[in-house]
Each structure stands twice: as C-alpha cells, then as structure tokens.
Amino acid sequence: MFKTNTLRTAVAASLATLTLSTPVLASDEPVKVGIMLPFSGVYAALGDATRNGLKMALQEKSSELHGRKIEFIEIDTEARPERAPEIASSLLDRSKADFIIGPVHSGVAMGMLKVLRGKDTVMIVPNAGAGPVTGPLCAPNVFRTSFSSWQPSYPMGKVALDKGYKNVVTMSWNYGMGRESLDAFEESFTAGGGKIVKQMLVPFPQTEFQSYLSEIASLKPDAVFVFFAGGGAVKFVKDYDALGLKGKIPLLGSGFLTEGTIEAQGAAAEGVMTTLHYADTLDNELNNRFRTSYKEQFGKPSDLYAVQGYDTGLLIANALNQLKGDISDRDALINTMANTTINSPRGDFTFSKAHNPVQNIYLRTVENGENKVIEIASPMLEDPARGCKL
C-alpha cells in the first residue's frame, strides 16, 4: 500500500512539474482511470500485480501524456461476479471514468460487459480470457490487452502433432476457461489428424485427481493436455509426478499450468511443456528492463499479470500521446487505440478487429524451475473472434 502511494505521488509530482513547463494544455481535467481488480480473496495477488504494472507504465510515460494528469479510482471486485455490474455502473455514472480497467476473473468480465458495452467509456480487460469478450459480445469500446482463452491453447495442437503424438487425453475443470482451452487445443490437433481419446472434466474447484490419473494410466495415450491454474495446477502437476505418469506420458498444457505455480510444484514440474503469450525468461531488452525496474519498485519479482497491467498502461499512454492529450472525441480515441502497436515485454503486439491482441505464442518447457522459451509456437496469432460483428 505504502509503495503504491509513493508511486502515485511520484506520478503526480512529475506531472505537476510538466504542467508548469507546458504552456498549452489539452485540458486541466485529469484523465480518470477506474480500476476494477480483486485486491482480496483468491485472486488478490493477480490484482496487485496488474495494478502495479499499470501504474508503472503510466509513470514511465508521464512525459508523453501532454500534461494530462491521471486520477485512479480503485475498487476491489473480490473476484465476485455478482458485484461487477454495480461497481461498473458507479465508475461509469458517478465517477465519470474515461477508462475502466478490469477484471482478472472472467465471470466479473461478463458482469462488467453487461453495463459497459457501447458506453462512453473505454473498458480495457487486463486478464480475463473469456472468449465472448472479443467474440459474440465484442464492442467498439471494449479492448483486451491479455489473451483470449483460445490463443494460448490453439498452437499446442500443432506442437503435439509435430512431436508425433496421435492419441491425447485432455483434462480440465468443468468451467468456461477450461472448456474453451480444451476446445482450442482439440481444434488444431484433430484438424491435423490427431485423436482425442477422452476428454475429462473435473468439477470446479475439486482437486482430487488421483482417480482420473489412474484412468489416464490405463488408457495409455501418447500425451496429456490440460488446463489448470493456481492451486489446482500445483496439485495436478504434483499428483501427475507422484503417481509415476511423468516421464512415461508427456504432460502438455496451457501456460497457466506453470505460471506463478512453478516454485510450489518443485521438481514435479520439470519437463512440463506449455504454450503462452509470455514467459518470464523471454530474453529481449524490454523484458529485461521491465523485470529489473519492477523488482526495484515493488520489491518482488514481476509476473505475467504485471506485464499485462503494464501493457494496459502503455495502451492508455500511447493513445494520450498520439491524440496530444485530448481524448474528448471517443471515436478518435477508439480508432487510435485500435491501430496502435504496443512495445510490450512479451514482444510487440497489435490489436485485431475485435480488439484482442495479435501476438506471439511461445512454446516453453520447465527447466531448473523456470519456464524456458524453446521457440515461437505461433507468430502473431490472431483470435478468430467468432461471432464478432466489428
């Protein structure tokens, strides 16, 4: 809390000096950025990292905002979908926010969309991967700086085929993100001649995997593809190893399997192969600088969620810069945002017609407790945005 306050003061101070030295001002009104992230509950760590990244980007770019100050209005969603419409309405009507950033959780995203679609504010999703956000429910004023659930999993189908795997068991929790991930994998895998031996859906958020793994062992597939995240991912990878499947049946997954969980998984995660739009170990100048600077400012290592927050900040900063600080014309704002290129630590990305990132998806494998990048599994991959009429 103390750190973010310091940061806020720093942003304000640097902007204040800028204001004094710039004679022509676009507007004295601050740009209002509403933040709807979980700061308590299971996703609290994700919310924190996203907020840190967002503020860090806006501070770094403070000299390019044409004198506009940024005012943050932060509300804790607690990752509770039922609260989302109410909070979004209050940011929209009472606070008159120019931008609303959020959320982490896909259920909350649906609640926010219900209120914000087509409104006079720009909603930027820094994490939630639910397909409909940039699919059937896409809207001009809705952007996403993270990924669609389809994106990280689709390239793995081809990777599996290249490795010579023909029969694969897929497994996930029985909820939106899980099912969408398995479907995306299946789409590219079966198109190339692969066969899904069995799809296993575990009730969310159950973590008793032993009976499922015993069945996988009896099915003897060439490989297993899974989507799990957080605590469930830790338990799954540990069980997979403990029951002796690791080393006999290769484990593939959407990158979230080993994101923020790798330390807790320990040796059990070694060799697990995943696809994702980022890896901490990406060796480019921007990423190295980002990681060093994040660690200095916040005293802990950055992660995927910090990067996504950072890129959200860059998107706002880019738009303000290109429009010379004047965002009163919302059509011009949306147009500028849609056509910008974000120089992200994950590599440059642009936006699709549905306002979802067109980005590299990396193939990674766990080596010595790190997600090591092997190659780009799919360069500049665009979500098909099925059902979007933009």
Partner 1 sequence: MTTSLFFVQLINGLQYGLLLFLIASGLTLVFGVMGILNLAHGSMFMVGAYLAWYFFEHTGSFGISALISAAIALLIGIAMERGLIRHLYRRNHLDQVLLTIGMIFVFNALQSLLWGNDPLGVPVPQALSGAIPLNDVLEYPIYRIFVALLCIAIAFVMYYMINKTRLGMLIRAGESNREMVECLGIDIRRLYTIVFAIGVMLAAIAGVASAPMSSIMPGMGEHVLITCFVVVVIGGMGSIKGAFVAALLVGLVDTFSSVLVPQISSMMIYILMAFILLIKPQGLFSS
The only residue of 42, 73, 358, 380 in contact with partner 1, by rule CB under 8 A: 42
Contact set for partner 1, span 325-354 (CB under 8 A): none
**Can you name the residues that pair with 198 across neighbouring β-strands?**
169
- Both tokens of 53, joined, read 């990244």
Place of tokens 């200095």: 296
* Binding of residue 304 to partner 1 (CB under 8 A): no
Question: What is d(CA 66, CA 321) in angstroms, rounded to the nearest whole number?
Answer: 7
* Binding of residue 368 to partner 1 (CB under 8 A): no
* Binding of residue 207 to partner 1 (CB under 8 A): yes
Least Cβ distance, residue 249 to partner 1 (angstroms): 7
* Binding of residue 105 to partner 1 (CB under 8 A): no
Least Cβ distance, residue 171 to partner 1 (angstroms): 11
Least Cβ distance, residue 77 to partner 1 (angstroms): 15
Who's near 192: CB < 8 A, 6+ residues apart? 157, 158, 161
The only residue of 12, 196, 197, 245 in contact with partner 1, by rule CB under 8 A: 245
* Residue from 93, 220, 154 nearest 359 by CA: 154
State which H helix or E strand residue 239 sits in: helix 230-242
The only residue of 18, 201, 338, 358 in contact with partner 1, by rule CB under 8 A: 201
CA torsion sign, 10 to 287 to 363 to 353? positive
* Binding of residue 379 to partner 1 (CB under 8 A): no
Contact range with partner 1 by CB under 8 A, out of 42-50, 120-128, 177-185, 364-372:
42-50
The only residue of 52, 172, 265, 302 in contact with partner 1, by rule CB under 8 A: 265
* Binding of residue 251 to partner 1 (CB under 8 A): no
Amino acid at site 64: E
Cβ-based nearer residue to partner 1, 5 or 218: 218
In the three-class reduction of DSSP (H, G, I as helix; E, B as strand; rest coil), residue 200 is classed as strand
Question: What is d(CA 313, CA 310) in angstroms, rounded to the nearest whole number?
Answer: 5
* Binding of residue 239 to partner 1 (CB under 8 A): yes
* Residues near partner 1 (CB under 8 A), total: 43
Least Cβ distance, residue 231 to partner 1 (angstroms): 3
Least Cβ distance, residue 212 to partner 1 (angstroms): 7
Contact range with partner 1 by CB under 8 A, out of 55-63, 64-72, 206-214, 371-379:
206-214
Residue pair 352/385 in contact (Cβ under 8 Å)? The answer is yes
Q: How far apart are the first and last CA of the chain?
A: 40
- Both tokens of 301, joined, read 């290592």
* Binding of residue 261 to partner 1 (CB under 8 A): yes
Question: What is d(CA 196, CA 169) in angstroms, rounded to the nearest whole number?
Answer: 6
- Both tokens of 129, joined, read 């991967």
Residue pair 32/71 in contact (Cβ under 8 Å)? The answer is yes
Question: What is d(CA 305, CA 286) in angstroms, rounded to the nearest whole number?
Answer: 16
The only residue of 13, 41, 195, 295 in contact with partner 1, by rule CB under 8 A: 41
State which H helix or E strand residue 379 sits in: strand 370-381
The only residue of 32, 51, 238, 355 in contact with partner 1, by rule CB under 8 A: 238
Q: Which residues bind partner 1 (CB under 8 A)?
A: 40-45, 200-203, 205-208, 210-212, 214-215, 217-218, 220, 230-235, 238-239, 242-245, 248-249, 260-261, 263-267
